[in-house]
Amino acid sequence: MFGSLPRTVRLLDAGAGAGSLTTAFVSRVCAGNEGVRSIEATLYELDPAILDALSAAMRECQRRCMDAGIRFTFTIHHADFIQEMSARLADDLFGTTPPAFDAAIANPPYRKINADSAERRALRSVGVETSNLYTGFIALIQRLLVPGGQLVGITPRSFCNGPYFRPFREDFLNHLELRRLHVFESRQAAFRNDSVLQENIVFHAVKGRNQPVEIVISHSSGEHGGNITETTFPFAEIVHPHDAEKFIHIPSTASHATAKATMDGLGSSLASLGVTVSTGRVVDFRLKEALRKEPERGTVPLLYPCHFNGGTIHWPKLEARKSNAILDNSETRPWLVPSGVYLLTKRFTSKEERRRLVACLFDPDEVKAKWVGFENHLNYFHANGHGLDRTLAVGLYAFLNSSVVDQYFRRFSGHTQVNATDLRALTYPDRDTLQAMGREVKALNLSQDEIDHLVGKHLHAHR
């Protein structure tokens, strides 16, 4: 998982055991043409019984590096990593510099640490407040990395959403850019001997303050040689930008499978509902002369994705760069639609958007006009060129904005574009179910949870 490495790599392996992670790092560096000339490994291990095996493994690393023309030096510290590094980081205040590392690889020990334990006191002295040894290790390692330094760690996934880990998550996400997460789906396979069976993850993070726009999440069973599936997600979906808890949401392949099963169970096609979806017909650069920044006499509303405002339309939007109106004349009329209730979806969503599919309702009571123009960057659902039954349209709003549909889309569309053909190919709930959903939506500003709850309830009732 490591990205590119400097010519000289100062490597830290804290809780090194028999040195298998450093050995793996060395294999990778020796195999690839990475430009690494020298590795200076620092290893911490407390258990005296394993030190001989660790030294032997490091001598083997040295031999392999020599064959590859790479200098390898190592120092094994038979010491408590928490105590020693906390002290050195705290001493930093008095002018001694703690060690600095370009790369760290870690499979730290997992154990609860009580509020009055020596470990907790040591960690507290450098501002780390955490209740498990593994998060303590990671928090210290983070502090020892140089800017741009990389950490690959394997840990339980409990820190991603456990309420007690909130301060840790904050510390982690403020100083480490999360680049990749790998999840072992099986609780048993990876760590059979661990007393607490829990899912484990491997992560790659880089010391820095700018989280990436996208992150790769991969899954495998945890059995040796199992398949690895990879999906790219907008980072904002993994850590929601305004979440005070800073939960790290890891989508599971199981939820994709459930979404597929749910969608496969739906019996209606769009055509059988008497609904059509088309791409907005106004291609603005072809009708440039007819566009107007502000509505004026002789124009009708022109809708772009920038007019989406949650579940409804905000129009006109005079501060936007886009036009708000289009002349209604014999040249433009073929590209306009008669006013009515339409459901609109964006064809392109930005990477920051949580869902691939964003639907909102065009309500003729809110935007008064006889005709309207839908621009080419959006799709509109209609009934044979005219508006839809309102309750049906609101039901479609709920369904298309649900996580089930989103997850279904993600399974096959790696890109963020949703075209009319994709929407035509979807399966839909029948008319009664959509209308029942529509009747239940009182306002078009539902949260994701509210939408999912409502849609889930109705899809379930009809199975």
Ligand X SMILES: C[S@@+](CC[C@H](N)C(=O)[O-])C[C@H]1O[C@@H](n2cnc3c(N)ncnc32)[C@H](O)[C@@H]1O
Q: Which residues of this protein are in contact with ligand X, per CB under 6 A?
A: 15-17, 20-21, 44-47, 50, 80-82, 107, 109
Kindly state the smallest distance separating residue 14's Cβ from ligand X, in Å. 6
Q: Identify which of residues 80 and 129 has a Cβ nearer to ligand X in the complex.
A: 80
- Choice between 15 and 295, CB closer to ligand X: 15
**Which is nearer to ligand X, 45 or 237 (by Cβ)?**
45
244-275: burial string, b at 16+ Cβ within 10 Å, e else? eebbbebbebeebeebeebbeebebebeebeb
Tokens representing 208? 């820095």
**Of residues 47 and 170, the one with the C-beta less far from ligand X:** 47
Give me the least distance between CB of 47 and ligand X, in Å please.
Answer: 4
Please name the residue that has the structure tokens 């690895």.
228
**Does 108 sit behind a cis peptide bond, omega within 30 degrees of 0 on the bond before it?**
no
**Closest approach of ligand X to the CB of residue 127, in Å:** 19
Placement of tokens 């370009």 in the chain: 102
Of residues 15 and 251, the one with the C-beta less far from ligand X: 15
How crowded is residue 455: how many other Cβ atoms within 10 Å of its Cβ? Answer: 24
Instruction: Give me 265's structure tokens.
Output: 């169970």
| Closest CB 16 distance from ligand X, rounded Å | 5
Q: What tokens appear for 206 in the block?
A: 């880089």
Sign of CA dihedral 301, 306, 308, 313: negative
Buried b (16+ CB within 10 A) or exposed e, 403-417: bbbbbbbbeeeeebe
Judged by beta carbon, residue 17 or residue 162, the one nearer ligand X is: 17
Name which of 267, 251, 235 is nearest 406 in CA terms: 251
Please state the closest distance from residue 73 (CB atom) to ligand X, in A. Answer: 19
